[in-house]
């Protein structure tokens, strides 16, 4: 059976124009397929994001029967959501489709140009290896004299087609989130199924005799985010859950909403990945992490079942969607955690990288959210929200993406520079000389500020942070706890240990008073406060937190990850190195040996890579250890 859901001519769609290439008319199989219209129209209570729904009344089939009985062709426009249904084999299905078209085109017969155009549409969809939707240009099927056109008139309508190829969610559901090319891997069909599954796993789906809960959704500035949000929200609604859409926000803005409202959440972002990607970060109520082993694998399994079966379990009642802006509340909450009002005046260059910090920085560090002015002169860089990242990738972990900020700090005579990634959950710091500040130094600085508020508390650091971090935490009376690399691990440890703060060398910073979640903006505010409460330059301030020399992360492609790691371990263990296998292989200098050194060798989760991080008490020691390990990893002799 082939089912077409059609809209009246007042449909409007914000999708960009896209021409279809005409192809030979394909045969249409007898298996069930659906072409549905997701274009918004005024028939849905004026909501611009509403979608056409299937109407099982069979109005379209009735119109076809009228034509076959010789009824005049000049029919009024069908109501929004009218459904045309045809049953049987290929010929019947084609006749129903073309018959419906001929009613509106004034009596064209099957086999004419209308049939060819319809065949081209079906062919373009069915023969696409990745695209599961297409746009019909105006007049694609023609228009009756003085009337409206079927499938396209003055509007551009989007018609997703249930794909003939199986969507494999295992290719996009990663250890911590969903991430893939959009729409090639992550499209509306997948987003709808993931939304339905998330409603079940995160506990907002409606149950028999009781209404569903509410799930909060936010998104970044990527062009594909709004349509994916709409599809995900429909999935939640279809399982009886309500949706609160907070619109454009940073990932930590979504965590704020989840914590503040006590609701699970979903953030549509691919973080620092290039523009072609999109993804979903999910959390339980209170911004509790969802990852492998904590619900994400359940979401994937259930969503795959929904995709493969083509059906969702019925809900007692569909959920609702509402919208609420929360940027001002987010900014006020961060201001309540770090008071910058007493700081000396600072000139701050902020590179948003065309990402979400272009929205959040003016609200938090400026007055755009209606909050009082702070003693900060902010120099904006790339604040325009643009998910194509026209200036540089929003990934400050790559040194090339810091170059513009480094130059601007020096040119403006600024006290500090801040660079955020695409979803603004990470921040990198540049000092007044334009030199990058190690995230380990930021971790130590913020840790000591948190320990001043909560003496004796636990502070987390991942295993590739500088050895100076646990040393300074312990010296300040805190309890340092070492963790694996990755936000799901550190968030789990935050909950288990009750830690007040946690930092990673990747510039993720986690705060107990932010529901244990990571927030780049709050970490930036702590650095600004530490700088502003004393008269010295940032370079002098961080020197005490960064006494050792680090290599940075170095990737090497290897054919045998396990064998290479084992060989490196044997070599350095034979020299008396202290071995730790918490996350990959860490080897440290023997107890009492001076100068101190250590290195960590970790495999990539997705590629045949080994990642090396090394540190030494001085540059010569670090370089010696780094070069010996690299020589062995890359096939030389240790």
- 194-240 pLDDT, tens digit each: 999 999 999 999 886 778 899 999 999 999 999 999 999 999 999 99
Residue 636 neighbours by CB distance under 10 Å: 10
pLDDT > 90 fraction of the chain, expressed in percent and rounded = 68
> What's the full length of the chain, in residues?
638
Lowest mean pLDDT among 96-110, 173-187, 268-282, 379-393: 96-110
* Contact status, residue 465 vs residue 485, Cβ threshold 8 Å: no
Q: How far apart, in Å, do the first and last CA atoms of the chain sit?
A: 67
Which pLDDT value is given to residue 100? Answer: 29
CA nearest neighbour of 85 among 57, 119, 48, 113: 57
Which pLDDT value is given to residue 165? Answer: 67
Which pLDDT value is given to residue 607? Answer: 78
In terms of Cβ atoms closer than 10 Å to its own Cβ (0-12, 13-18, 19+), residue 260 is: middle
Average pLDDT over residues 123-128: 39
What are residue 350's DSSP bridge partners? 380, 418
CA nearest neighbour of 522 among 509, 533, 535: 509
DSSP 8-class letter at 172: T
- Using alpha carbons, list the distances in angstroms from residue 445 to 437, 494, 524, 547, 588: 11, 18, 11, 13, 24
- Asked if residue 63 has pLDDT above 60, the reply is no
- Asked if residue 604 has pLDDT above 70, the reply is yes
Considering the domain 169-325 in this protein, what is its CATH number?
3.40.120.10
Mind telling me the catalytic residues? 271
**Distance of alpha carbon 314 from alpha carbon 196, whole angstroms:** 11
Kindly state the greatest CA–CA separation across the chain: 99
- Asked if residue 489 has pLDDT above 90, the reply is no
Sign of the CA dihedral with 390 first, then 396, 397, and 398 last: positive
- Asked if residue 137 has pLDDT above 70, the reply is no
Average pLDDT over residues 21-37: 30
- Using alpha carbons, list the distances in angstroms from residue 272 to 438, 507, 521: 19, 13, 16
Which pLDDT value is given to residue 176? Answer: 86
pLDDT > 70 fraction of the chain, expressed in percent and rounded = 73
**Distance of alpha carbon 519 from alpha carbon 345, whole angstroms:** 24
Average pLDDT over residues 504-529: 97
| E strand or H helix that includes residue 356 | none
Distance of CA 544 to the CA centre of its chain: 36
**Distance of alpha carbon 146 from alpha carbon 211, whole angstroms:** 47
pLDDT top residue among 360 and 397: 360
> For the chain, what is the mean pLDDT?
79
- Asked if residue 241 has pLDDT above 60, the reply is yes
Which pLDDT value is given to residue 78? Answer: 34
- Asked if residue 20 has pLDDT above 90, the reply is no
pLDDT top residue among 137 and 389: 389
pLDDT per position as a tens digit, 316-363: 899 999 999 999 999 999 999 999 999 999 999 999 999 999 999 999
**Distance of alpha carbon 123 from alpha carbon 126, whole angstroms:** 5
Considering the domain 339-543 in this protein, what is its CATH number?
3.40.120.10
Domain with CATH 3.40.120.10 in the chain: 169-325, 339-543
């746009």: which residue's tokens? 135
pTM over 0.85: no
CA nearest neighbour of 350 among 418, 268, 396, 423: 418
The superfamily CATH assigns to domain 549-633 is Alpha-D-phosphohexomutase, C-terminal domain (3.30.310.50)
- Asked if residue 30 has pLDDT above 70, the reply is no
Which pLDDT value is given to residue 207? Answer: 80
Which pLDDT value is given to residue 210? Answer: 79
Which pLDDT value is given to residue 28? Answer: 29
Lowest mean pLDDT among 1-15, 112-126, 366-380, 580-594: 1-15
Confidence class for position 636, pLDDT limits 50, 70, 90 = low
* Contact status, residue 304 vs residue 178, Cβ threshold 8 Å: no
Domain with CATH 3.30.310.50 in the chain: 549-633
pLDDT per position as a tens digit, 417-468: 999 999 999 999 999 999 999 999 999 999 999 999 999 999 999 999 999 9
CA nearest neighbour of 202 among 121, 99, 294, 65: 294
């Amino acid at each position: 059976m082939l089912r077409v859901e059609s809209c009246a001519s007042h449909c409007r769609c914000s999708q960009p124009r896209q021409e279809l290439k005409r192809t030979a008319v394909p045969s249409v199989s007898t298996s069930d397929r659906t072409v549905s219209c997701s274009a918004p129209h005024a028939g849905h209570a004026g909501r611009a994001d509403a979608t056409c729904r299937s109407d099982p009344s069979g109005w379209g089939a009735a119109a076809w029967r009228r034509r076959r009985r010789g009824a005049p062709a000049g029919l009024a426009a069908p109501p929004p959501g009218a459904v045309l249904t045809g049953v049987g084999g290929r010929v019947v299905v084609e006749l129903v489709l073309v018959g419906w078209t001929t009613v509106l085109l004034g009596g064209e017969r099957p086999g004419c140009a209308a049939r060819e155009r319809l065949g081209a549409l079906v062919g373009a969809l069915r023969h696409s290896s990745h695209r599961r939707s297409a746009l019909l240009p105006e007049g694609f099927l023609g228009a009756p004299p003085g009337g409206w056109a079927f499938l396209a008139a003055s509007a551009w309508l989007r018609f997703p087609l249930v794909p003939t190829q199986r969507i494999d969610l295992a290719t996009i559901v990663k250890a911590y989130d969903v991430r893939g090319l959009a729409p090639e891997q992550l499209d509306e069909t997948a987003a709808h199924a993931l939304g339905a599954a998330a409603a079940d796993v995160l506990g907002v789906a409606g149950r028999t005799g009781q209404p569903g809960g509410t799930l909060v959704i936010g998104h970044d500035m990527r062009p594909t985010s709004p349509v994916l949000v709409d599809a995900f929200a429909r999935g939640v609604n279809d399982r009886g859950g309500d949706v609160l859409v907070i619109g454009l926000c940073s990932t930590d803005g979504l965590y704020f909403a989840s914590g503040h409202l006590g609701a699970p959440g979903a953030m549509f972002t691919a973080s620092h990945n290039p523009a072609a990607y999109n993804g979903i970060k999910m959390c339980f109520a209170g911004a509790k992490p969802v990852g492998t082993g904590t619900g994400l694998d359940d979401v994937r399994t259930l969503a795959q079942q929904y995709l493969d079966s083509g059906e969702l379990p019925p809900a007692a009642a569909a959920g609702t969607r509402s919208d609420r802006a929360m940027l001002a509340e987010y900014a006020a909450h961060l201001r309540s955690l770090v008071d910058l009002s007493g700081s000396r005046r600072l000139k701050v260059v902020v590179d948003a990288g065309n990402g979400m910090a272009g929205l959040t920085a003016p609200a938090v560090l400026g007055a755009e959210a209606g909050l009082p002015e702070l003693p900060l002169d902010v120099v904006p860089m790339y604040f325009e929200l643009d998910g194509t990242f026209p200036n540089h990738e929003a990934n400050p972990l790559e040194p090339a993406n810091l170059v513009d900020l480094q130059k601007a700090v020096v040119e403006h005579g600024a006290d500090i520079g801040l660079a955020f990634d695409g979803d603004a959950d990470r921040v990198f710091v540049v000092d007044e000389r334009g030199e990058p500040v190690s995230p380990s130094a930021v971790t130590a600085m913020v840790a000591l500020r948190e320990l001043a508020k909560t003496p004796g508390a636990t502070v987390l650091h991942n295993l590739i942070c500088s050895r100076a971090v646990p040393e300074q935490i312990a010296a300040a009376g805190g309890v340092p706890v070492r963790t694996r690399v990755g936000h799901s691990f550190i968030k789990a440890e935050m909950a288990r240990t009750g830690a007040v703060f946690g930092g990673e060398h990747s510039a993720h910073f986690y705060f107990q008073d932010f529901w244990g979640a990571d927030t780049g903006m709050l970490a930036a505010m702590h650095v600004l406060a530490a700088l502003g409460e004393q008269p010295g330059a940032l370079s002098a301030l961080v020197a005490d937190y960064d006494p050792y020399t680090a290599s940075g992360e170095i990737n090497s492609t290897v054919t045998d990850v396990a064998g290479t790691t084992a060989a490196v371990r044997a070599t350095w263990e034979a020299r008396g190195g202290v071995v730790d296998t918490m996350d990959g292989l860490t080897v440290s200098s023997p107890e009492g040996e001076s100068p101190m050194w250590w290195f960590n060798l970790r495999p990539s989760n997705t590629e045949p890579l080994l990642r090396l991080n090394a540190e030494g008490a001085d540059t010569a020691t670090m370089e010696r250890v780094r070069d010996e390990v690299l020589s062995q990893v890359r096939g030389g002799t240790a």
